[in-house]
Amino acid sequence: MKNKDVPNEALLLGADRSEMKDLIDFYLNMSTNEDKEDLYSMARRVRDSNDGPRVFLRGLIEFSSFCRNDCFYCGLSVRNRKAVRYRMTEQEIVQVIRNGYAMGFRSFVLQSGEDPYYLAGRLSELVFSIKSLFSDIALTLSVGVLNSEQYLQLYQAGADRFLLRHETADEEHFSKLHDANQHFSIRRKSLETMKRIGYQVGAGLMVGSPYQSVDTLTEDFLFLRELSPHMIGLGPFRPHINTRFAKFPYGSVDHTLVLTALCRIMLPNVMLPATTALASCDIQHRADAFRAGANVVMPCLTPQKYRDAYAIYDGKLSSSTEAAENVRFLINQIHDLGLSAEMSRGDHFDFRERKSD
C-alpha cells in the first residue's frame, strides 16, 4: 500500500473524524517496515528539531501492588487472588530515591495500584518529605483515579507530574475493560483537573487491547489532540494469565510504533516513552520506539525482591541484574542510536521557563 503523503502536524491537527480514521487505518495496515520508514523518519525529525536528539530517563519505583480496582486486563486487579501483594515502606522508598539520586537521576516516577493505605494521606506526607530531602528532582505520580482535593493536596505537597492513562476514549469500549465503578468520563475529568491544577499530565492507552478498533483509536486521537497532554504512554496489550483477558491475543508492536510516530507528529513537544510493555516483547523494541520518535524511558528502580510481584502482565521485563547495570545498558542503547541520554528533571517544553531543564 503506497503512498499517502507522510502526515505533518497541520494535517493531523486539522483532520476531522473521518480523515483521522482514514489516516490511522492506512498506517496500521501498511505491511512492511520499509513502508513505515517515511513515517518514522518524519517522527524523528519532528522530535530532533523541536527538542533535540535526546532521551530523558526517569527512575520508576513500583511501590505497592495493592489495588482496589478491577481492570479486566491487569494482573493487579483486586479480583486476582493469586497476585502477590506488597507495599514498600516510606523508608524503603526514600532509600531507592537516594540510590537513584547517587546514580544521577533527577526524575522519579512513583507508581502503584490504587492502594487505600497510601491514598489516605500518607502519600502526600511522603511526597513532601521526598521533595524536602531532594529539592532538585521532578516527582511524577502514577497512582490512579483520585478526587480533586487529593490531586490538589499531592500537588501542594510537591508532586510535579501525574500519569493516568485514559485507556480508551470510547465510553463503550472503556466499559468492556473495567468494572462498573470506572468510566472514561471520570478519567477525562481527572486529567482536565490535574492540568488545571498545574501538573504535567500523562494520558495513554494499550495498543491492541480487547475490543479496540480503528474507530476507538480514532476517538483516542481526537481526545489526545484536544487534551494535549504533556506525555502519552503507548504500550502493546499483553495478556495476564490470571485475568479474564488471559486468552486474548498480544497487541501488535508494529501498531504501537506507528501510533507512537503519529502522536509525535501531531503533538511535537509531547514526552513519549518507550514503554516497558514494548521492551517486554523484546528489549530491542525500545530502540525501535526511539526510532519512531519516542524520547523518554523509565528504567525500573524497584528493589529486586518486589519486582516479580508487580505483575501487571505476563513476561514483564524484569532483570536479575541490579539497577545500575541496567541503566548502563540502556544508556549505551541510547548512545548507539546517536541520541543523548538525559538524567535531568526532563520537564515538558512548556514548563522549562519556570524550572531549570
* Residue ranges in contact with ligand 5AD by CB under 6 A: 73-74, 165, 167, 206, 235, 237-238, 240, 277, 312-313
- Minimum CB separation from ligand 5AD for residue 124, in Å? 21
Contact between residue 285 and residue 279 where contact means Cβ atoms under 8 Å apart = yes
The CB density around residue 42, as the number of other CB atoms within 10 Å, is 19
Residue nearer to ligand 5AD on the CB measure, 155 or 237: 237
Residue nearer to ligand 5AD on the CB measure, 4 or 165: 165
- Minimum CB separation from ligand 5AD for residue 22, in Å? 26
- Minimum CB separation from ligand 5AD for residue 71, in Å? 7
Give 276: exposed, middle or buried? Use CB within 10 Å, 0-12, 13-18, 19+.
buried
Name which of 260, 303, 233 is nearest 86 in CA terms.
303
Residue nearer to ligand 5AD on the CB measure, 87 or 165: 165
- Minimum CB separation from ligand 5AD for residue 145, in Å? 11
- Minimum CB separation from ligand 5AD for residue 247, in Å? 12
Contact between residue 251 and residue 205 where contact means Cβ atoms under 8 Å apart = no
Residue nearer to ligand 5AD on the CB measure, 52 or 315: 315
Residue nearer to ligand 5AD on the CB measure, 41 or 318: 318
- Minimum CB separation from ligand 5AD for residue 276, in Å? 8
- Minimum CB separation from ligand 5AD for residue 238, in Å? 4
- Minimum CB separation from ligand 5AD for residue 165, in Å? 4
Residue nearer to ligand 5AD on the CB measure, 39 or 74: 74
In angstroms, rounded to a whole number, what is the distance separating the alpha carbons of residues 95 and 117? 20
Residue nearer to ligand 5AD on the CB measure, 58 or 238: 238
| C-alpha pair distances (Å), 284 with each of 40, 134, 244, 314 | 16, 33, 29, 18
Residue nearer to ligand 5AD on the CB measure, 75 or 293: 75
- Give exposure, 4-40, as e/b (b: 16+ Cβ within 10 Å): eebbeeebbeebeeeebbebbebbbebeeeeebebbb
Residue nearer to ligand 5AD on the CB measure, 111 or 124: 111
| C-alpha pair distances (Å), 32 with each of 29, 101, 290, 312 | 9, 42, 18, 30
Sign of CA dihedral 10, 13, 17, 22: positive
Residue nearer to ligand 5AD on the CB measure, 235 or 346: 235
- Minimum CB separation from ligand 5AD for residue 155, in Å? 20
- Minimum CB separation from ligand 5AD for residue 354, in Å? 28
Range 126-130 contact pairs with CB under 8 angstroms and sequence separation of 24 or more: 126/90, 126/93, 127/154, 127/157, 127/158, 127/159, 128/157, 128/158, 129/90, 129/94, 130/93, 130/94, 130/97, 130/158
In which residue are the cell numbers 493536596 written? Answer: 153
